[in-house]
Structure 1
Amino acid sequence: MLFSYVDQCIRLLITQTLYCLSGLIPKQHKAVMGCYKNKFADNSKYLFLHWQRQQTITAIWISGDKALIKQLTQQGYLAYYRWSLMGVFHALTAKYYIYNSYIGDINQYFAKGAIKINLWHGSPLKQIEFDISNGPLHSVYHPSTWAQKLNAKALYHQQYVKPDFMLAASDTVKGLFRTGFKMTDEQFLCCGNPRTDYHRYYQINNHQTPFTNQEVKHVILYAPSWRDSSLTNDNNNIYAEAINFKALSTQLIDQNQILLLRLHPNEAHFAAELDQYPNIINITEWDDIYGIINKIDLLITDYSSIYIDALQYKCDIAFFPFDKAHYHSECRSEYSYVAKLPAAGPSVYNFAELQNMLKHMAVNAEPSLNVADSSRQAFCSPQTRQVLTNTFWQHSTNALDCLDELVKQGQHEAIKKPA
C-alpha cells in the first residue's frame, strides 16, 4: 500500500511538472488533433478532413498508433506518432488542441497554454464528468478521502483539465455540458457537430458498405452504449447473454435483413466472438458509422446518445435496454430530464421482444413491440420526432463554419480565453 501511495505521488509530481513547464513554450498558429483509443474517428476526424480541404489552418494529427500514422502520411496528411520528436514538438508548440474526449487524445502532458477545444463524442443522456453521481467513475470526479483525491490527481490528470471551448447544438446540451465540465456560457460555440455536418457540407455519399452487393430488405444497426461496470468486471459478455446470436442470425436470413454490430470501443473484445454468424456483420473496428448512417433502416441502441445523431437522418429508432436496472445502479444514472422526453421509438427488454419487433418490421416495414397489440405505436410521430430534434439540434449553424471562424479570428488576434 505504501508503495502505491509513493508511486502515485511520483506520478503526480512528474505529470504536473511537465504540464506546467509546457505552458512556458511559445505557441504557433496551428492545431494538433487526436481521438480516443488512438483512432481516426468522430468529430475531430471530420474537422481535420475539412481543414485539409479548406486549408483553414495547419492541422496535424497525433496518435499512438504507428500504423494509422503511416496510413495518414501516405494519404498526404501531416500526422505524427505521439512520442516521436515531431509529435512532441507539435504538441508543445500548437496554439490549438482539438479532441473528442480528453487532451490525452493528443498528449496530456503538453497542453498547457494551448486553446483547448473539446468536441466531445455524444450528447448527454447519462451523467457525465462532474455530474456523475454513482458507479465506478464517481470517485474519479468526487473523491472523498485523501487516498481517493491522490488517486484522482495522479491517475486522472486530464479529466481535471477544463476545455476552453465546447460545441453545443442546443441550450439543453449546453446546460448539461456547463455543469458536467464546470464551464460558463461564454465558452460554448452554438452550432452542430462536425461528424454530422461534414457529410451535409460536402454532400458525400460514397462510403463502401459491407452489404453493397446484397439485396436486403432492411439494414439494422445495433449500437449499444458502454457499460461502465466493465471497468471492474469485463469477463462476462453481456451481449451474448442477452441475445441468442445464432437464433438471431437464422431469423435475419429468413427475413432478408442484415444486422451491423457496433459495440463501444471499450468493449470491442466482446464483438470478436459475435461475428461468426451469417447476416451479422461486426463493424466495431470501423473508425465510425457516419459514412453509412444514411443507409440504415433501423437503429437499435439503449442508453447511447447515437440516437440523437440519428434524429437528423431518416432511419427509425428503437431501444433495447435489457439491463436497465443494473445499468442505472452499477454504471451511471441518467439525467432527470431524460425521463420527460417523448420516446423516439419503441423499447424492448428481452430477446423474445427483440425478435418480435424485427419480425414485424420485416412483414409490415415498421417495427412494433407486439404484433397483436395494435394500440402500441411503432415509432414516434413526425411531430414528436420534431420535438426531439428541436431539443437536441436547436442551433443550425454548421460546426465547420463556426470553427473556421474561431481559428481565423485567432490568426489575427489573441482569442481571449474564458476565465
Structure 2
Amino acid sequence: MKFKNIIDIAYSGGIFMASKISNNKENIWLFGAQGGNNYSDNAKYFFEWMLENHKEEECYWVTKDKDTYRQLSSRNIPVLYFYDLKSIKLIAQAKYIICTHSHIGNDVYKFVSQTKTLITLWHGIPLKKMGKLPKKRYRDRIGMKSQPDLFLVTSSNDAELFSDLYEIDRDKFFVGNYPRVNDLISKAEDKKTILYAPTFRDRMSQDYYDEHVFPTIEELHTLNETLIKFDYHFFIKMHPYVQADFPNLNEFSNIELVSAFDDVQDYLAQANVLITDYSSIYFDYLNLDREIIFFIPDYNWYSQASNRGLLYEYEDVTPGVKVTSWQEVENRLITIFNDDIISDFSVHRKKTLNFFYTERQLDNNALFYKCKELL
C-alpha cells in the first residue's frame, strides 16, 4: 500500500471519528472529484453554480493536490486542503458531500458517516462496459455510507444500469441534467475549431498508438495545409490515462496538443466538429447538435468482449460518419468546411440525444432542491 494512501486512510478515519462527535451544519457543502486530485467535472460546475446562485450556503472544494489548492486559493475560490489538520473540523461538520467519481464519497474522504447527505453526480454516460462492484455491506454495520443518498443520471436506462452495477437502491436515483452539460450549452460558441479527443486503450503501449491511432508526420503536414486553407484550428486532447506521446507538433501552425488535464468542456464549447472514438465525451457534445466524426481504426479489436467491450450496438448510438484512416478524417473535414453535408446525422443525433437524456428540461435548480429535500 502506497504511503499516500495510508495517509489518506488515516485522515479519513480521523474525520469519520470527528464527525461522530460533531453536529452537522446543514448549510455546509463539500465538493470533490477524481479522488480529490483534480478540479473538474460535474462537481466543479455544480460548485461554481452554487457559489453564484446560493450564497446562503457555505460551499468548499476539497482537494488532496497542493497545486490545485494554490490555484484555487489564488482565485479566491473557497477551497480546503485535505491534508491540513485545520480542515478536519470543517469537513467533519459538513452536511452535504458531493462527488463525481465515487458513489461512497472517496472524492472528498473515504469514510462518510451515515449522518451525512452523500450526492453522486457521476462523470458521464457509459458507452463501454463496466465491472460490477458489489455493495460493501460492512460499511453499514459500522456507520458508514455504502451508497449515496442521491445518484444523478440523465436517463432511467442509466439508473437501471448503475443500480445493478453498484447495488444501489433504485429510489436513490434522480433523473436530471449534468451540471457540466448545462454549462456547456450556456457557453457554446463558434470558434472554427476542431477537437480530437480519443479515449484510452487498456494496457496499450506507444507502439500500439503509433501504429493504429496516431497520424504520421506526413499525414499531419497534409492536415495542417487543409486547416490553413480553411482557417481552422485543430486541438488534440488526450485522455489522462493514455501512456503514449502524440507526435511532435512544433512545425504545425494550426494543430495543437493541449494538456490532458485541461478542462475538456472549454474546448467542446468552441468546437465546430468533434472527432472521437469510443469516448463518452460525445454524449455531452450531442447537446450542441454539431458534427461528430468517429475515428475508429481499431474497432474490431476494441469492441471485443475480451477488451473493454461496448454496452450498445455501436452503430445505433454513434450519430456520425465512421472513418478508419487519417485521410478519411481529412476528407470528411473538407466536406464539412465546404458545407457539402447531405445526411440524416442531425436526425440521428437528436434521436440518440433523446435516448440518453430523458429530462433535459431540468436545470441545476432542480438538482439543488432535490438535495435539500433529503435533509
TM-score bracket for this pair, using the shorter chain length: 0.7 to 0.9
Change (3 A) 1:350 1:87: farther
In structure 2, runs of 5+ residues without a counterpart are 139-144
How far 1:16 sits from its partner (Å)?
9.7
- 1:254 paired to 2:225: yes
Q: What SS does the corresponding residue of 2:180 show, helix, strand or coil? A: helix
Partner residue of 1:389? 353
Identity among equivalent positions (%) equals 24
| Paired position in structure 1 for 2:339 | 365
Change (3 A) 1:334 1:61: same
Matched ranges for 1:251-400 at <5 A: 251-256=222-227, 257-267=232-242, 270-271=244-245, 274-278=248-252, 279-329=254-304, 330-335=306-311, 337-339=312-314, 341-362=316-337, 364-365=338-339, 380-400=344-364
Shift of 1:351: 3.4
Alpha-carbon deviations, 1:333-388, whole Å to 9, x = none? 211x34472540111123343343334444x3357xxxxxxxxx6x5443322211
Aligned to 2:124: 122
* Distance of 2:146 and 2:244 partners within structure 1: 31
Cα distance, 1:70–1:107 mapped onto 2, change above 3 Å: same
Q: 1:179 aligns with which of 164, 174, 178?
A: 164
**Which stretch of structure 1 is more off in the superposition, 325-334 or 389-398?**
325-334
Deviation at 1:402, TM superposition (A): 1.9
Q: CA deviation at 1:18?
A: 6.0
Secondary structure at the aligned position of 2:106 is classed as helix
> Could you report, residue by residue, the CA deviation over 1:23-53 in whole angstroms, capped at 9, with x for unpaired residues?
6243322111112162211111111111111
Deviation at 1:22, TM superposition (A): 6.0
Q: 2:25 aligns with which of 16, 23, 28?
A: 28
> Cα deviation per residue 1:144-170 (whole Å; 9 max; x = unaligned)?
xxxxx9xxx9xxxxxx94322111222
Cα separation, 1, equivalents of 2:249 and 2:178? 31
Cα pair 1:80 1:86 within 8 Å, conserved: no
Give a deviation string over 1:297-342, Cα, whole Å, max 9, x none: 211111111111111103201111222233234531211x344725
In the alignment, what sits opposite 2:149?
Answer: 164
The aligned counterpart of 1:50 is 49
User: Counterparts in 2 of 1:235-246, with a 5 A limit?
Assistant: 235-236=205-206, 238-241=208-211, 242-246=213-217
Asked if 1:190 is matched to 2:175, the reply is: yes
2:322 counterpart SS class: coil
Q: Say whether the 8 Å CA contact 2:276–2:293 is kept in structure 1.
A: yes
C-alpha distance in 1, partners of 2:15/2:313? 38
Alpha-carbon distance between aligned partners in 1 of 2:274 and 2:159, rounded to the nearest angstrom: 25
Shift of 1:243: 2.4
Q: Is the 8 A contact 2:237 2:258 kept in 1?
A: yes
> 3-state DSSP class of the match of 2:68?
helix
What is the CA distance between 1:91 and its match in structure 2? Answer: 3.0
Q: Is the 8 A contact 2:176 2:367 kept in 1?
A: no
Say whether the 8 Å CA contact 2:184–2:269 is kept in structure 1.
no
Secondary structure, aligned partner of 1:31: strand
Q: Indicate if the aligned counterparts of 1:31 and 1:97 stay in contact, CA closer than 8 A.
A: yes
The number of aligned residues is 351
Kept in 1, the 8 Å contact 2:184–2:268? The answer is: no
The 5-angstrom pairing of residues 88-167 of structure 1 reads: 88-102=88-102, 103-110=105-112, 113-130=115-132, 141=133, 161-167=146-152
Runs of 5+ consecutive residues of structure 1 not aligned to the other structure? 131-140, 143-148, 154-159, 213-217, 368-376
Q: Is the CA contact 2:176–2:363 (under 8 Å) kept in the aligned structure 1?
A: yes
Of 186, 193, 197 in structure 2, the residue corresponding to residue 219 of structure 1 is 193
Q: Residue 246 of structure 1 contacts residue 277 of structure 1 at CA under 8 Å; is this kept in 2?
A: no
1:157 aligns with: none
1:136 aligns to what?
Answer: none
- Partner of 1:226, secondary structure, is coil
- Deviation, 1:199, is 4.7
User: SS state of the match for residue 179, structure 1?
Assistant: helix
Could you tell me how far apart the structure 2 residues matched to 1:59 and 1:237 are? 45
Residues 112 and 366 (structure 1), Cα distance of their counterparts in 2 relative to 1, 3 Å cut = farther
Task: Give the stretch that moved more between structures: 75-84 or 14-23.
Answer: 14-23
Distance 1:15 1:62, change over 3 A: closer
Say if 1:56 and 1:270 are closer, same or farther in 2 by CA, change over 3 A. Answer: farther
**Equivalent residues in 2 for 1:394-409 (5 A)?**
394-409=358-373
